[in-house]
Every structure is written in C-alpha cells, then in structure tokens.
Amino acid sequence: MPETKTFYVTTPIYYPSGHMHIGHTYTTVAADTIARFKKLTGYDTFFLTGTDEHGQKIERRAKEKGVQPKQYIDPIVEETQDMWAMMEIEYNDFIRTTDERHVRVVQDIFKRFYEQGDIYKSEYEGQYCAECEAFWTPSQLKDGNLCPDCGRPTELVREESYFFKMNKYQDWLIDYIENNPGFIQPESRANEMLQNFLRPGLQDLCVSRTSFKWGIQVDFDPKHVVYVWIDALANYISALGYGTGDDTLMQKYWPADVQLVGKEIVRFHVIYWPIMLHALGLPLPKKVFAHGWLLFGNDKMSKSKGNVAYPQPIVRRYGADALRYYLLREMPFGADGNYTNESLITRINSDLANDLGNLVSRTSAMIIKYCGGKVPVPGEYFDVDKTLIQAVEALPVQVETEMDSLQFSRALAHIWRIIGDCNRYIDATQPWVLGKNPDEKERLDTVLYVLAEALRFVAVLLWPYMPATPDKIYGQIGIREAQDKTWDSLAQFGRLTPGAGIERKGALFPRLELDKELEALSEDDATEPNAQEEASAIAPDKGLISMDDFEKLDLRVARVEQCEKVPKSEKLLKFTLSLGTQKRTVVSGIAGSYEPEKLVGTQVVLLSNLAPRKIKGIISEGMILSAASNDDKTLKLLTVESDIEDGAGIS
C-alpha cells in the first residue's frame, strides 16, 4: 500500500476581543479551500484554526464589562465557531489558548527555554499599546505618544520581564531563509524580513509580563505570565499534542505544509516562530504565506478601528458560496484589495448568475427538452467538440498548479475560462437549431453530452472553493454516484453515464438588482447585531472617567459644510464637517430636533478621535456632542446615544 500523503494547514489564531469580520473570514476561507483541495486530490489533511485568548486587551475589555476574561471570551468564541459553520469551514481542530492542553505545553516550553539558557530575566521599559498588544520604540510612535497602528495613546511600561535571546539564532535563520527560497511567500516578504529585521540585528524579545494577570502563568516564577507570542505561536504544535507523550499527530503532520498569516504578523511567524522551533529541535514549517489585507474605504479593516464588514448579512442574502467565491476570486492572494458591496454584487451577477448559472440552466433545460430529461449517448466527436474536450481535460492540472502556489484567483479563472468556452460552444453549435432537424439528433446528443460532461469537471473542481454548489449542479446533469465526483474521475473525459435522469432545479444564483441590494446591505449593516454591539461597546461609559480618560478625547469645533437627511431614516442626519484643512463625514441621530438646511454654516462640537463606525452604510468619523439650536443659535448638548442608536434627540 502506498503511504498516504499528509497535509497540515493553519490560520492565525484570532483575538476574541471583538467579533470576527470578513478579514478573518478571508484567511479562514483560504485555509479551508486549501484543505479541501488537498483532500480532493487524495491527501490526509489536518486544518487547524482557533482563538488567541490571553493578554491585556482582553483583560481590559472584560473589566469594562464587569465580567471575568473567560466569561467575556466564551460567547465570542462560540459565535466565531458558528460563523465558521455558516461559512462551510471544515476544520479538524479548533484550539483555544485557554485549553488546558495548550497551557501545559506553553509552560513546559517556557521552562525548557529557561533551562537551556535561551530565556533570561531582566527589566523592560518601553511604550506599550494594549489595544494592539505591541511595544513601540520612540521613533516608531506617532505624534510623540500614539500607536503607529491604531493611533491610540501608548503607555510607558516598566517592569521585570523574561527575555528570549533572539540574536543567538539570528545567523542560523538568515542562512536558513537564504537557502530555502520557498519558505516565506510571497518571496518579496523574505527580502523585507532580511533587510529590515535580520541583517540589522534582532532585539531580544520580551516574553513575560508582570503588570497584568490574564495569561499563562510561568510555573517556576508565578508572578509572571507568558507574554503573547510564545503563548500564541505554540498553538500550532500544542494542537498536535506536542510534549504530551503521544506524538502520533506530531509525527504525522509536523512540519506544517502551509501556515497562512496576514502580512502584519508575518514577522512573528518567520522570525520568532522559526527560532522557537529551532530551539526546541523541531523542523520549520515548509511554507509561511503572508496574504494581503481586505481594505474597507481604502483603510485596513480592523476591529480596533471599527471599519468592518461582517459576513452574516452577506451570507444571509446570497449564501456562503457566493462570499467564498468573491473573497477567493476578487484579489490575488498576497495583494491587498478593497472590499465593497458593489464589487460583491457585480461579481455574483457576472460570474455566478450569468456565466455559471446560465450554463447549468441552459444545459439541463436542453437535455430535458431534447433528450427526454436523460443524459444522451454521444456520437462522433467533431473538431469543435475535440477542442473543448481537450481544454476540459487540461483543466485539473492547471487548477492544481495554481493551487500549489496558493493562487486561488488564477485557479478560479481557469475554471471560468472553461465555463466561458462552454457558453461559446453553445453559441457555435446552436443546439436549438439542431433540435429542429430530426436528422441532426445524434449531433445534438453529442453536443449536449459534451456540455454535461464538461460541467461535471467544473462541479468537481469547484468543491474546494464553493462546497455547496457542486451538489446543486450534479442533479442537473445526471450525476449521482460518488465515484463520478472524485479527482480521479477527472482523469478521463466521458465518465458521465448516458441514460441518467436530470433534475430541474431553480437558478443556482439568482440575478441581483444592484441598487436594491446595495440599499438592503446598508440597512443590514445598521441592523446587524454585531455592528450595533460594536458601536455600543465603544460608547463612553456613563460612570466616572479619569483625567487620563478625558485626555484621550480629542474635542474640536467644526463648521457644518453640508447637512442632509439619511434616506429612509427618521432620526439620522449626515454631516460634512470642516475642521480647518480636514473634511469629515459624521452621522448623527438628531433629525428629530433639527432641520438640516438650518445647520449649514453653524458650528458643532465634535469628538474627533472616536473610531469610525458604520451607520446605515455610511462611515461616520466622529461624534457630534453639541450643535446650535434652530431658534436662538445657542449651543445645545446632545446625548451620546442619539448619535449611535438613531434615537432620542437632545438632553
């Protein structure tokens, strides 16, 4: 018996500090697609995802809500798992860093590093951003004190810490990266790592903290908790039972074949992670692939900035396969891309409703009309048939080649080229003309057989990307047997069995009206419970605030340049505000008490550094705290809720 080939793929483990959005969905869908593709092509795959549950940010969020960290996280983790089920994600394991199985491994690894002399105790001083869980050097800070990532104020941290001696392994790693060109993908990232971090010399890494408690305790020095990266990165092996005495999964799946990460965390995965593994005497993953960012309004979608889109409203309207297709097709894996509802609807209409959907419905309708609803027996193949058959036979290898370099978009483009070829083949062979002439029956049968068999190839190959769609196609081209749905069944054209019955089904992807959908999606955004919670979660507390809190508020006087009612809303007004050289769009719930025309030219007080939020599909950048009254033009204070909830007016 030949040995089964194995394949291990991972996603980052996400912070459950807030709800997961379509940025996280992007990585998870990509990993799921790779795992499914490898499964289809005969591999024994293991796909791991999970959540990264420790750290100061989560500790603080829980405190704000008045609950224990675990209580705060549990519902978010459950919601994340539900979301993955909704997206048809089939992971083999979901690791949580609070799992006992993980905690033990991290404690053991930490101790081993200490005993080996890789870790030493010292004191740390630096500017820390709790939101991003990152330390910054003075030159990296924005405006003296602000986090360069999220723009929030950083805080000076001075505390006893353990450090990992990164520079001990630096030369080894430079050598490894130079000699293993496939290790870091895209390759440009490898050069960036060498130039920006490795060649200038690695700083030792702070690996424990004493100023917060929500983390894995260092068992030989309990005042310390392990600080994020050793804890987080170890998940990829703790999930395989590393160090537990049962090394079955480690033997089978380690080293990982592909570790997917967003480009902002590639450094941790190709510098700290390899060094940790090397210090443990383990081989490195075969490939770390850094993909680009989904941008929203030309900025990185992120929980801390609040400019996010969620998959739930999209899946509710169009199904998981449509969103999966869009994410995998729209941008080359590795590059950034802007998410818009408009590009999503346009893709669904052109590729799914028109190209694929029409092909399936035309083919099955013609088999029903001309062949009594049964797959016909093909006759002799003509040149026009042979050209299409050859293209179809070449397709599996073309798709596999693109998948080997994780080019989902190009793999799908190959499949869609064949779909286009089939639609052109229908136009060229004109089955409706053949159908009028009984002498052309054999020719007609051949054309329809070729189409149905080509669609079988398409359906089998689509499964990794769009897992629910193939089953909707199979019935419409007379396929029932599992053996006709396999990768091996694509070795030869012509497996489709003549005589098999066709089931007529509704449109695979109904055509959408762009304007109507855009409106519905923006309404959905506003009513999406996640989005609402996100908005209220960042509303200031109604209790007392400290001077430190107050200093974080950036209050500005702004001039109203334009003001109009938000369509279909009783309460909301959309403002264009001028803050000197800057312009802002802000949505405020004060339509009940103000006439928009009368506000133009007046001044308002704006909380200008509130994270942007999406209200009725409009990105609102700040909160109006006070506006001039209609009657006497004196400033009136507005309630905070009025801005968020499309609700009450003026206090």
> Containing H/E element for 330?
helix 320-330
Question: At closest approach, how far in Å is the CB of 192 from ligand ME8?
Answer: 16
Please, which residue, 14 or 449, has the CB nearer to ligand ME8? 14
Residue range at the interface with ligand ME8 (CB under 6 A); choices 145-153, 260-268, 440-448, 607-615: 260-268
Alpha helices (H) along 538-639: 547-552, 596-599
Residue 9 lies near ligand ME8 (rule: CB under 6 A):
no
The DSSP result for 332-364, as a single string, is -BTB-EE--HHHHHHHIIIIIIIIIIHHHHHHH
Identity of the amino acid at 560? V
Alpha helices per DSSP H over 538-627: 547-552, 596-599
- Dihedral pair phi/psi, residue 635, rounded to 5°: -75, 135
Is 643 an interacting residue with respect to ligand ME8 (CB under 6 A)? Answer: no
DSSP code at position 297: T
Cis peptide preceding 186, ω within 30 of 0: yes
**What letter would DSSP give residue 270?**
I
Would you call the peptide bond into 255 cis, given omega within 30 degrees of 0 as the criterion?
Answer: yes
Q: Is 79 helix (H, G, I), strand (E, B) or coil?
A: helix
Contact by Cβ (8 Å): 418, 458: yes
Q: Residue 105, interface with ligand ME8 (CB under 6 A)? A: no
Q: Which stretch binds ligand ME8 (CB under 6 A): 6-14, 117-125, 197-205, 406-414?
A: 6-14
Q: How many residues bind ligand ME8 (CB under 6 A)?
A: 20
The Cα–Cα gap between 628 and 631 comes to 9
Shortest distance (Å) from residue 240 CB to ligand ME8:
14
- Check: CB of residue 420 under 8 Å from CB of residue 355: yes
* Contact range with ligand ME8 by CB under 6 A, out of 21-29, 219-227, 509-517, 574-582: 21-29
Q: What is the DSSP letter of 483?
A: G
Nearer to ligand ME8, 150 or 635 (CB): 150
Stretch that binds ligand ME8, among 294-302, 410-418, 469-477, 494-502 (CB under 6 A): 294-302
Q: Is 261 in the site for ligand ME8 (CB under 6 A)?
A: yes
Q: Which stretch binds ligand ME8 (CB under 6 A): 10-18, 88-96, 363-371, 412-420?
A: 10-18
Minimum Å gap between C-beta 34 and ligand ME8 is: 14
Nearer to ligand ME8, 301 or 644 (CB): 301
Min dist CB 261 to ligand ME8, Å, is: 5
Kindly state whether residue 622 participates in binding ligand ME8, applying the rule CB under 6 A. Answer: no
Q: Is 23 in the site for ligand ME8 (CB under 6 A)?
A: yes
Interface with ligand ME8 by CB under 6 A: which range of 179-187, 257-265, 475-483, 626-634? 257-265
Which residues face 253 on adjacent strands? none
Least distance (Å) from ligand ME8 to the CB of residue 53? 9
Tell me the window of 8-16, 173-181, 563-571, 599-607 that interacts with ligand ME8 (CB under 6 A).
8-16
Name the DSSP class of 378. P
Q: Identify whether the C-beta of residue 45 lies closer than 8 Å to the C-beta of residue 6.
A: yes
Residue of the chain from 141, 146, 194, 265 that contacts ligand ME8 (CB under 6 A): 265
Phi and psi (nearest 5°) for 145? -135, -5
Q: Are strands 555-565 and 134-136 parallel, antiparallel or unpaired?
A: unpaired
Shortest reach from residue 410's CB to ligand ME8, in Å: 19
Q: Could you tell me the two tokens for 129?
A: 């951003």
CB of 27 to ligand ME8, least distance (A): 4
Q: Is 190 in the site for ligand ME8 (CB under 6 A)?
A: no
- Cβ proximity to ligand ME8: between 408 and 457 the closer is 408
Check binding of 262 to ligand ME8 (CB under 6 A).
yes
Stretch that binds ligand ME8, among 191-199, 244-252, 297-305, 354-362 (CB under 6 A): 297-305
Which of 272, 293, 310, 326 contacts ligand ME8 by CB under 6 A?
293
Give residues 51-80 in contact with ligand ME8 (rule: CB under 6 A).
Answer: 52
Q: Give 18 or 470: the residue with its C-beta nearer to ligand ME8.
A: 18
Q: Are residues 637 and 650 in contact, defined by beta-carbon separation less than 8 angstroms?
A: yes
Site string for ligand ME8, 141-160 (x = CB under 6 A): --------------------
Strand pairing class (337-338; 294-296): parallel
Task: Determine, following the binding rule CB under 6 A, whether residue 304 of this chain makes contact with ligand ME8.
Answer: no
Cβ burial, residue 403 (10 Å; 0-12/13-18/19+): buried
The two structure tokens encoding residue 405: 């370099």
At position 113, the amino acid (one-letter code) is F
Extract the tokens encoding 266.
């590639």
Phi, then psi, of 355 in degrees rounded to 5: -70, -60
Identified binder of ligand ME8 from the candidate list 14, 114, 162, 254, rule CB under 6 A: 14
Listed ranges 13-21, 135-143, 466-474, 554-562: which one lies at the site for ligand ME8 (CB under 6 A): 13-21
Distance CA 306, CA 538 (A): 9
Does residue number 239 form part of the binding site for ligand ME8 (CB under 6 A)?
no
Strands of 205-206's sheet, edge to edge? 134-136, 119-129, 155-164, 205-206
Q: Least distance to ligand ME8 from the beta carbon of 300, Å?
A: 5
Indicate the residue among 107 and 235 with the shorter CB distance to ligand ME8: 235
Binding flag, residue 449, ligand ME8 (CB under 6 A): no
Contacts of 436 (CB under 8 A, 6+ apart): none
Render the burial of 33-51: b for 16+ CB within 10 Å, e for the rest: bbbbbbbbbebebbbbbbb
**Which residue, 456 or 614, is less far from ligand ME8 as judged by CB?**
614
Stretch that binds ligand ME8, among 81-89, 261-269, 343-351, 469-477 (CB under 6 A): 261-269
Query: Which of 7, 8, 9, 15 is the binder for ligand ME8 (CB under 6 A)?
Result: 15
CA dist 237 and 256 (Å) reads 9
CB 250 within 8 A of CB 242: yes
Tell how strand 134-136 and strand 93-96 pair up: unpaired
Tell me which residues in 24-53 interact with ligand ME8 (CB under 6 A): 24, 26-27, 52
> Of the listed pieces 250-258, 296-304, 348-356, 521-529, which binds ligand ME8 according to CB under 6 A?
296-304
Could you say whether residue 12 binds ligand ME8 (CB under 6 A)?
Answer: yes
**Binds ligand ME8 by CB under 6 A, chosen from 61, 102, 209, 300:** 300
Residue type at 142 in one-letter notation: K
Could you say which of 157, 190, 225, 301 contacts ligand ME8 (CB under 6 A)? 301
Residue by residue, DSSP assigns 135-201 as: EE-GGGSBTTTB-TTT-PBPEEEEEEEEEE-GGGGHHHHHHHHHH-TTSEESHHHHHHHIIIIITT-
When the beta carbons of 12 and 274 are compared against ligand ME8, the nearer one is: 12
Interface residues with ligand ME8 (CB under 6 A) are 12-15, 23-24, 26-27, 52, 232-233, 261-262, 264-265, 293-294, 300-302
